[in-house]
Amino acid sequence: MLELLKEFLDPFLLIGLFIVSLYFYFTATFNFWENLCVPFKKPTVLVGNFGPLLLFRKSQPEGVKEMYEWFKNERFFGVFRVRSPILILRDPDLVKSICVKDFVCFANRGIPTNNSQDPLSGHLFNLEGRKWKGLRSKLTPTFSSGKLKRMFYLLAECSEEFRKLINKACEGKTAVEVRELAAKFTIDVIGSCAFGIQINALTDEDSEFHRAAKKLSRPSYKTTLWRMLRTAMPKLYKFLSVQVIDPEVTMFFKNVVSQMIKQRESCDQRRHDFMDLLVELKNKGSLENEIGSISQTLNEEDVQAAKEIELDENSIAAQAFVFFAAGYETSSNTIAFCLHELALNEEIQEKTRRDINDSIMKRDGKLTYDAVQDMKYLDLVILETLRKYPPAPLLSRRCEYKYQIPGSKVELPAGMRVVIPIYGLHHDPDHYPDPETFNPDRFMDENKRTRHPYTYLPFGEGPRACIGIRFALLQIKIGIISFLRNHGVQVSNKTVHPIRFSRRSLVTTSEDGFWLNITSESENS
């Protein structure tokens, strides 16, 4: 009888020991911030302070804003993602220190990658150290204003096709999901400018690019969860060889880039698009016809790092992929958010339309690069859209060595993650009074001067700021111009306001779409 009891108890004892061990593993770090005398929110076992986000009960913007408001009188505070301690900043001066002044200590994002499973993950956004520095130095000239100006004719062509699609949508006299419309435009723009091919996503929803875009913008819950967890549990992420990019998407992009490289290298015709520039970098190591060579515009360390980087087909595919992945969804969402706000604010919409048409009329009715640069009120409208709806709700950096937080006695250990809550800063009434009101005048020069510059971070800041800012803004402007030149937008009975953010997406987007009525020029006059 006693032996039978022992056999019965042993499994329960093992299970008990396993549960106790797990509990101690997940809670062993929970005294970290208390030991450093840093204010922190009490975490929950298994999820830390990120339960609502990890369980998809709240969207990223909602979760970030809620955390930001936990300690309103503090410059920084601590939280836990699962069991990993994370520092969250509230002070714009500290944001400046992390992004610029002490960038050397916070140069990396600390995003683990499984390159053998995810060959497209070796792109500029994820790279670290000298690899990042060298590639950034090589790619920076491809986004110069001169290069964009030579490329502008491609965007103008996409704009004309987009206007035809808007005309067709207008004929239906029913509400239109403008994000889907804008997504077709951004896919065509990126396909034309980055890959040098006519995708025709505007008319062909069954194109391979369109299918790839849908897979990227609607990842599975498992993929989304791993993207949130990989920085908190990098060893497990590596051990399980997790693949966050769909294998079919990977194969598609590698094949497209390989074909385009062979095509460009076999003929002398130039389109002045990004693929031309990437192939030139691959074959020559630097770009010609720049105002000043790399050696003249970069310091000696950057020049040496750039020389160490060689672009091969896989590397070009990775850069082209991130150009597509980063530019497609964020730009189409920003266009949709902007149109949504203009539909709610007819006076601002009319002022924006006048600004657009006045600038175009000064160029004999032609949409030119210089005409777009003259649209100053449109600039304000887009800046305010990005303030209210930043594409990334947060950004993070990894501390590379011991770092004492300026103005405090707190010393962060190497490996510590620091999070900048962009959405929280953008909606802080101390920085932006009445933050839920859409007010482009916030970005007039006299108003900007009264505000700390590091309270506005839609593209990040410092050396690791988005390399494609100029192109992204140009693409967004062309999308808005295409809508407002001859059309208007109005709320419909399907318009959801206030917007409910998607809980599944890591970028800021709507759960319900952006349903608006599109009116013709005659209806607007």
Q: Judge contact between 420 and 357, C-beta under 8 A.
A: no
Looking up tokens 């992390």, which residue turns up?
Answer: 98
SS3 letters across 32-58: HHHHCCCCECCCECCCECCHHHHCCCC
Cite the annotated binding site by residue number: 466
β 403-404/515-520 pair status: unpaired
Q: Judge contact between 191 and 198, C-beta under 8 A.
A: yes
Give the count of beta carbons closer than 10 Å to the beta carbon of residue 221: 10
What CA–CA distance (Å, rounded) separates 431 from 450? 9
Give the count of beta carbons closer than 10 Å to the beta carbon of residue 134: 21
What CA–CA distance (Å, rounded) separates 282 from 496? 47
Q: Judge contact between 166 and 483, C-beta under 8 A.
A: yes
- Paired strand residues for 418: 87, 397
18 CB-near residues (< 8 Å, 6+ apart): none
Side chain identity, residue 374: D
513 CB-near residues (< 8 Å, 6+ apart): 177, 179, 180, 496
Cα 303–306–311 angle (5° rounding)? 160
What CA–CA distance (Å, rounded) separates 83 from 276? 46
Cite the annotated binding site for heme by residue number: 466
DSSP 464: G
Question: What are the backbone dihedrals phi and psi of residue 259, each rounded to the nearest 5 degrees, phi first?
Answer: -65, -40
Cα–Cα distances in angstroms (integers) from residue 376 to residues 48, 70, 349, 373, 461, in the given order = 45, 37, 14, 7, 22
Cα–Cα distances in angstroms (integers) from residue 303 to residues 274, 277, 460, 508, 511, in the given order = 21, 18, 24, 36, 45
